[in-house]
Amino acid sequence: MASMDWRKSVVYQIYPKSFNDTTGSGEGDIRGIIEKLDYFSKLGVDYLWLTPVYESPMNDNGYDISDYYEVNPQFGSKEDLKELLGKAHEKGIRIMMDIVINHTSTEHQWFIESKKSKDNKYRDYYIWKDGTYDQPPTNWESKFGGNAWNYDKQTNQYYLRLFDITQADLNWENEDLRRDIYDMINYWIDFGVDGFRFDVVNLISKGEFVDSDGPGKEFYTDGPKVHEYLNELNRNTFGDKDIMTVGEMSSTTIDHCLKYTDPERNELNSVFNFHHLKVDYPGGEKWALANFDFLELKRILMEWQVAMDEGGGWNAIFWCNHDQPRVVSRFGNDETEENRVLSGKMLAIALHGLKGTPYIYQGEEIGMTNPAFKRIDQYRDVESLNAYSILRDKGMDASHIMDILATKSRDNSRTPMQWDDSLHAGFTEGEPWIEVSDRYQKINVTHALEDEHSIFYTYQKLIRLRHELDVLTYGSVEPYLMDDENLFIYTRIHEDESIMVIANFRNKEVPYPENISVEGEILLSNYDDRKDVLRPYEALMVYGQGE
Ligand code: TEU
């Protein structure tokens, strides 16, 4: 495939289990992705990122890998994956795999061995510590609730698991483990993949194992040897190859992200951070309800934009993924069709003018909404189910918990992709593993493609603009009116080109700010004409050339 500057690319994230089922199993598969390749060509994306499709007991939908070298039969076979690579490449689309190297499933052969005895060859592939029966080694908390250590009676020790009980953290101190990881990554490079998304990769280096005043994050987030390990990973695997990499960085800092993505340091190309997606966590608490803090959203986004731009780092830019609620329900307005479409386009324009690699999560491009589940048996996600029982144990009212889940659960983004208005939205001919949103008859790909004013075509245009205009890729970033309660405004400047983005985040008319002049060619907007005020959710991308 012709090479291009990876910085100009746009990535589409696929959650295979919910994308397209070709077998009637009720779960999506790789052939279902192959079937939709023309759809991606039409949208214009450069890379497809597949969340994990390896062998896994699927307690965390594939983020619990039991064999890195095999494809989970539920998704198909390695031949299917080869075919996907071949056919995608013919269309100029590249494939990015998701690699989980902070932990494996406890069903992974390494863990099965490790658990057997203290002197097993694989013992040190994981993190085992002493404790007493009712006193774990430290008070750290799992991200999915409860203490982060699990007692194993066979050897009378605890293993660390920062996520589910069945996701044991790997011990990166161990050189043999690191070598095995690099071999595995090289296997997938030889297989022909074009990129990697590294799951929670800033957690791989653990520091001291002592009690914390909080959940323990400070002892393993951006830990002491993380840069050393990533540099070693880079040198031993993708460093000298045409492979795009992005690290998922949990609770990270700008300083670390500048290092992770500094081309001179040979670690990774780009990073995801999540600070801008915590602006509806009152007091930092995810499982609570609050309107999102718009000023804080702008402040965080722009702080990262400017610092990464000035420091030579590279952000992944995104509103949605498989762990986040749907953005149109979250920062937009999904109450009426009109507002859903207006705010869906506004959010797209506001994000895709920023500097970094834009990511689109399946269904975002047609404005899919949170499904508004009403009952706990509609949920599937381990984190959500754990949260439900923990909050119940704390005495919270069940109906209040259901309201929180309907806003915050990861399942909000995991409902099946809505292809058409037939039964189960055209996702499966069987029974879907998780219910389809009941708005699928209006919100689906077929309708979106038929309607030239749909959100889909705003995304298509934004992707085309990113390919065509260097200023969108390389331009510096300057924010405006950071204290304005309604508008999100910034410019991008590169050589003699400029872009200005103005987005009204509110469901009301807002005057144009006096000291900002909107001169130039309107590249894109979500209204057909201009008025002397910004209408509800109005957004514009304006292009200027020369002085
Ligand atoms: O997520 C890492 C992570 O910390 C989250 O986004 C997490 O889901 C959230 O904080 C919980 O509130 C990655 C994957 O994207 C996620 O799906 C996995 O469950 C997790 O790692 C473990 O592999």
CATH of the domain at 213: 3.20.20.80
Of 462, 492, 518, the one marking the end of a domain is: 462
Range of the domain at 515: 473-545
Which CATH number characterizes residue 527's domain? 2.60.40.1180
pLDDT at 59: 96
Q: Which residue has the CA at smallest separation from atom 12 of ligand 1?
A: 143
Q: Say whether pLDDT at 44 is over 80.
A: yes
User: Same domain for 130 and 147?
Assistant: yes
For residue 1, is it within any domain? no
Residue from 55, 164, 194, 199 carrying the catalytic annotation: 199
One domain for residues 458 and 495: no
How far apart are the C-alpha atoms of 497 and 474, rounded to whole Å?
11
User: What's the longest Cα–Cα distance across the chain?
Assistant: 75
Residue 323 CA to ligand 1 centre (angstroms) = 6
In a domain, 467, yes or no: no
- Residues with Cβ within 8 Å of residue 241, at least 6 apart in sequence: 189
CB 95 within 8 A of CB 102: no
Inter-CA distances, 239 with 26, 244, 311, 500, Å: 39, 10, 21, 35
Write down the pLDDT at residue 519.
84
Q: How remote is the CA of residue 212 from the centroid of ligand 1, in Å?
A: 21
Both 202 and 58 in one domain: the answer is yes
What confidence tens digit (pLDDT) does each residue in 62-87 have? Answer: 999 999 999 999 999 999 999 999 99
Angle at 155 between CA 150 and CA 160, to 5 degrees: 25
Whether ligand 1 lies within 6 angstroms of the CB of 323 is answered as yes
Paired strand residues for 498: 493, 544
Residue 129 sits in a domain of what CATH number? 3.90.400.10
Number of domains in the chain: 3
Minimal-distance CA residue to ligand 1 atom 23: 63
The dihedral formed by the CA atoms of 182, 55, 357 and 362, expressed in degrees to the nearest 10: 180
What predicted TM-score, i.e. pTM, was given to this entire model? 0.97
Shared domain for 321 and 243, answered yes or no, is: yes
Question: Which residue type sits at 251?
Answer: S
Residues 492 and 364 in one domain: no
Quick check: CB of 63 below 6 Å from ligand 1? yes
Q: Is 174 inside a domain boundary?
A: no
Q: Which amino acid is at 342?
A: L
Asked if residue 275 lies in contact with residue 245, where contact means CB atoms within 8 angstroms, the answer is: no
Chain segment 174-229, per-residue pLDDT in tens: 999 999 999 999 999 999 999 999 999 999 999 999 999 999 999 999 999 999 99
Give the C-alpha separation, 226 to 232, whole Å: 10
Q: Is 89 a pocket residue for ligand 1 (Cβ < 6 Å)?
A: no
Are 315 and 379 found together in one domain? yes
CB atoms within 10 A of CB 529: 6
Question: Does 539 reside within a domain?
Answer: yes
Q: Give residue-wise pLDDT tens across range 464-489.
A: 999 999 999 999 999 999 999 999 99
Q: Is residue 468 part of a domain?
A: no
Centre a 10 Å sphere on the Cβ of residue 133 and count the other Cβ atoms it contains: 8
**pLDDT computed for residue 547 by the predictor:** 58
Whether residue 100 is found in the same domain as residue 125? no
Whether 390 is covered by a domain: the verdict is yes
Instruction: Say whether both 367 and 499 belong to one domain.
Output: no
User: Of the residues 232, 248, 334, 383, which is catalytic?
Assistant: 248
Average pLDDT over residues 266-278: 98
Specify whether 199 is catalytic: yes
> What does the block give as tokens for 201?
């990769």
Q: Is residue 177 part of a domain?
A: no
Average pLDDT rounded to a whole number, residues 144-151: 95
Nearest CA to ligand 1 atom 10: 143
- Rg of the chain's alpha carbons, rounded to an integer? 23
- pLDDT of 383-393, one tens digit each? 999 999 999 99
CA atoms within 13 A on the CB side of 530: 13
Specify whether 220 is located in the same domain as 119.
Answer: no
- Cα 272 to ligand 1 centre (Å): 12
Is residue 200 within 6 Å of ligand 1 at its C-beta?
yes
Q: Is the pLDDT of residue 110 over 70?
A: yes
For 350, the token pair is 């506001």
Listed range (24-28, 430-434, 543-547) with the worst mean pLDDT: 543-547
Question: Whose C-alpha lies nearest to ligand 1, atom 8?
Answer: 323
Q: Which two tokens stand for residue 22?
A: 């070709």
Instruction: Calculate the dihedral angle through the C-alpha atoms of 378, 382, 386, 389, rounding to the nearest 10 degrees.
Output: 30
Based on the domain organization, do 372 and 256 belong to the same domain? yes
Domain end call among 462, 490, 513: 462
Q: Is residue 176 part of a domain?
A: no
- Domain boundary among the residues 434, 462, 490 is at 462
Same domain, 30 and 127: no
Q: Is the pLDDT of residue 3 over 90?
A: no
pLDDT at 2 over 80: no
309 and 448: one domain?
yes
| Mean of pLDDT over the chain | 97
Going by alpha carbons, the residue nearest to atom 4 of ligand 1 is: 250
Coil, strand, or helix at residue 159? strand
